[in-house]
Amino acid sequence: MIDLVWPWLLTLLPLPFLVYQFAPKKTQHQKTAMRIPFLAEMTPYQSATITVTSKSGLWLAALAWAFLIFALTRPQWLGEPLEQSISGRDLMLAVDLSASMQEQDFILNKEAVDRLTAIKSIATNFIERRTGDRIGLILFGSQAYLQTPLTFDRKTVTTLLNESAIGLAGDNTAIGDAIGLAVKRLRNESSNSRVLILLTDGANTAGEVSPLKAAELAAANHLKIYTIGIGADEMLVGGFFGYRKVNPSADLDEKMLLKIAESTGGYYYRAKNLDELNNIYMRLDELEPVEKEKHYFRPRKELYSFPLGAALLFTGLLCWRKLQ
């Protein structure tokens, strides 16, 4: 159906007629007349042509005015009502981009990949499943910065996550600053639930705010934090004397991540491989289910360009006629 955003503008349709009827007429101080010596010789057909021509100009002007007013009312085409699910939850992802994330201790499609690539492969599906949630993205290294503000546009969040690169925010790890930034962005939001999912592979080595202090602020602002420790606990490294086992996650501060999660009512998870990381996201879906509150909206398509084009066409015809 067609809807008018400003239908009250239709009251302007009779304006030219009202101006013509009630506007003060110009006083003529001297009567003028035009004498046509051959008026008697004009045929009835020629007289009718003059009358029709003047009437056609009036109709062109009237149609141009009518279409212009119709364009000003901003007509729109309303589509069928579509269901939109809104959960009332604000969910923020905080992803570590420090130098240690380049450790290739995850296997994806039978190939060794770095930790950030593993996060991207799993987090993309997780984001797509969060129908109805507003999602934001924080990237942190030596500094923390907001990559994506809270939005329902999950495709944009996914794109910006996939475009992130190791070392983009510095080589160190500012976990406390990342939590503090999430608190700052979420504390003034009027949402039913606020959740931060923080993924890191190390310990806090940078930043101005300590992680535990930031966790206290998060708890005071009703922000629940789920922490995920990334990295395998052992891998084979080749050397001069053959292969040896090493722990690539020796710097992971699991005690700190556990305290952060527990102090805010969340949980700490350990992801040693891609399957465990995927299972963690599945568990998060269960702990923070997508609660669908049905809302409906109708897609709108602007139509004002069509009557506006018609008004310009009739105006052009009127001007062309005047020049003849």
Query: What digits encode the pLDDT tens for the residues 244-265?
Result: 566 667 788 999 999 999 999 9
Same domain, 191 and 310: no
pLDDT at 29 over 70: no
Q: What secondary structure letter does DSSP report for 11?
A: G
Give one DSSP letter per residue of 235-290, joined into a string: EEEEETTEEEEE-TTTT--HHHHHHHHHHTT--EEEE-SHHHHHHHHHHHHHHS--
pLDDT of the residue at 149: 93
Is 27 inside a domain boundary? no
Same domain, 187 and 282: yes
pTM given for the model: 0.64
Confidence class for position 85, pLDDT limits 50, 70, 90: low
Is 22 inside a domain boundary? no
Amino acid at 147: Q
Is 21 inside a domain boundary? no
Is 23 inside a domain boundary? no
Residues 174, 140 contacting (CB under 8 angstroms): yes
Same domain, 202 and 61: no
Same domain, 75 and 97: no
Q: Rounded to the nearest 5°, which phi and psi values hold at 176?
A: -60, -40
How many other β-carbons are positioned within 10 Å of the β-carbon of residue 211? 27
Q: What gap in Å lies between CA 14 and CA 7, rounded to an integer? A: 14
State mean pLDDT over 16-43.
62
State mean pLDDT over 271-288.
86
Q: Rounded to the nearest 5°, which phi and psi values hold at 86?
A: -130, 120
CATH number for the domain harbouring residue 160: 3.40.50.410
As given in the structure block, the two tokens for residue 117 are: 């690539």
Same domain, 129 and 212: yes
Same domain, 168 and 139: yes
Is 110 inside a domain boundary? yes
Same domain, 127 and 8: no
Q: Is pLDDT larger for residue 225 or for residue 286?
A: 225
Is 36 inside a domain boundary? no
- Give me the number of domains the chain comprises: 2
Q: What gap in Å lies between CA 42 and CA 30, rounded to an integer? A: 28
Same domain, 61 and 101: no
Q: What's the mean pLDDT when you consider all of the chain?
A: 82
Amino acid at 120: K
Same domain, 263 and 143: yes
Same domain, 271 and 305: no
Same domain, 57 and 150: no
Range of the domain at 56: 1-13+49-80+299-324
Is 258 inside a domain boundary? yes
Same domain, 209 and 259: yes
Q: What separation in angstroms does the CA of 143 have from each of 96, 114, 139, 170, 210?
A: 10, 21, 8, 7, 13
Amino acid at 145: Y
| Of 138, 136, 184, 139, residue with least CA distance to 156 | 136
pLDDT at 49 over 50: no
| Window from 114-123, 136-145, 184-193 with minimum mean pLDDT | 184-193
